[in-house]
Amino acid sequence: MATFGTLSDRLTATFSALRTKGKLSPADVDGTVREIRKALLDADVALPVVKDFTAAVRERALGDEVNKALNPAQQVVQIVNDELIGILGGQQRRLQFAKNPPTVIMLAGLQGAGKTTLAGKLAQWLKADGHTPLLVACDLQRPNAVQQLQVVAEQAGVAVFAPEPGNGVGDPVRVAKDAVKHAATALHDVVIVDTAGRLGVDAELMKQAGDIRKAIDPDEVLFVIDAMIGQDAVATAKAFQEGVDFTGVVLSKLDGDARGGAALSVASVTGRPIMFASTGEGLGDFEPFYPDRMASRILDLGDILTLIEQA
């Protein structure tokens, strides 16, 4: 987008002015912080997160923290990068497996976020790792969600537990409970529970998600969120944290060109780690989440380290 391509340029310009000076003045820092604020907003980072973030950057940039190896401009970029990666989660977290199988993984999120597709991706990935996953059809709401999961399971070459037809028929809490029992007898070591999409403001459906969680006591609850989401990411993430208390986040549709500011919003507001990135419609399009790549994507800085060298 036109408004974007120029951030690197604008920052570089701001920095070249900074380079010649010895120490950063509040005015220097404010100019840079303003550019960063706009870039974050263009990237859909939620406003409260932008405010906290820019305040932290400003404070550190004006603080005593001195790195002799870097000029002032480089220091600002370094601080921005550190802060971004810090919020996004410095290290990757891996899936938590149960001591006594089956490991139960529940998926939750807004409508159309990519839950059912992710169920297939996780299944295929776990299967390749020697696991015997079972996919569970607990979306009994969306038209033909059960069939969709069945097709996905077939593509992944894994078993599916789908005792109810769906399309409004069947109790998802009961299906989830039965699935875990079934997995124990049928020797599936991982159970992946697909659930219906629901809005943060839908109290009734949010309670249902909470009830599913209570019934199966999952080892992981993954909150799937579309990388294209805007400012609503915060309200939605909070609602899901309250409603089902997820343990990790999956960012989907990262194969597009959305900056994915939601990643920063959700990680910052919920404190939950982003664990995976979904990067396509194919079941193989799935990878661990890399905070450093996401940081430079959000700010559209290409390789942020190059900028540090240029600055």
Ligand X SMILES: Nc1nc2c(ncn2[C@@H]2O[C@H](COP(=O)(O)OP(=O)(O)OP(=O)(O)O)[C@@H](O)[C@H]2O)c(=O)[nH]1
* Residue nearest ligand X (C-beta atom): 197
Nearest to 139 by CA among 102, 96, 186, 194: 194
- Distance, in Å, from the CA atom of 64 to the CA atom of 60, rounded to the nearest integer, reads 8
- Tokens found for residue 51: 């405010």
Question: Which listed residue (75, 236, 279, 296) binds ligand X by CB under 6 A?
Answer: 279
Whether the CB-CB separation of 150 and 162 falls below 8 Å is answered with: yes
From residue 135 to residue 154, the character string flagging contacts with another protein as x (rule: CB under 8 A) and all else as - is ------xxxxx-xx-xxx--
Number of residues that bind another protein (CB under 8 A): 48
| Alpha helix ranges (H) inside 20-144 | 26-42, 47-62, 72-88, 115-128
Exposure string over 76-96, b if 16+ CB within 10 A, otherwise e: bbbbbbebbbebbbeeeeebe
- Distance, in Å, from the CA atom of 306 to the CA atom of 285, rounded to the nearest integer, reads 28
Whether the CB-CB separation of 210 and 247 falls below 8 Å is answered with: no
Q: Which is nearer to Mg ion, 24 or 138 (CB)?
A: 138
Residue with tokens 């409603």: 243
Nearest to 304 by CA among 86, 88, 82, 17: 82
Contact between 169 and another protein by CB under 8 A: the answer reads: no
Identify which range of 54-62, 110-118, 129-137, 294-302 contacts another protein by CB under 8 A: 110-118
Number of residues that bind Mg ion (CB under 5 A): 2
Question: Which listed residue (54, 78, 103, 116) binds Mg ion by CB under 5 A?
Answer: 116
State which of positions 183-222 bind another protein (CB under 8 A): 199-201
Name the minimum Å distance from CB 110 to ligand X: 7
Q: Which is nearer to Mg ion, 81 or 252 (CB)?
A: 252
Question: Which listed residue (89, 197, 260, 291) binds ligand X by CB under 6 A?
Answer: 197
State which of positions 238-257 bind another protein (CB under 8 A): 239, 253, 255-257
Q: Which is nearer to ligand X, 74 or 252 (CB)?
A: 252
Q: Which is nearer to another protein, 170 or 200 (CB)?
A: 200
| Interacting residues with ligand X (CB under 6 A) | 109, 111-117, 139, 142, 145, 197, 199, 252-253, 255, 278-281, 285
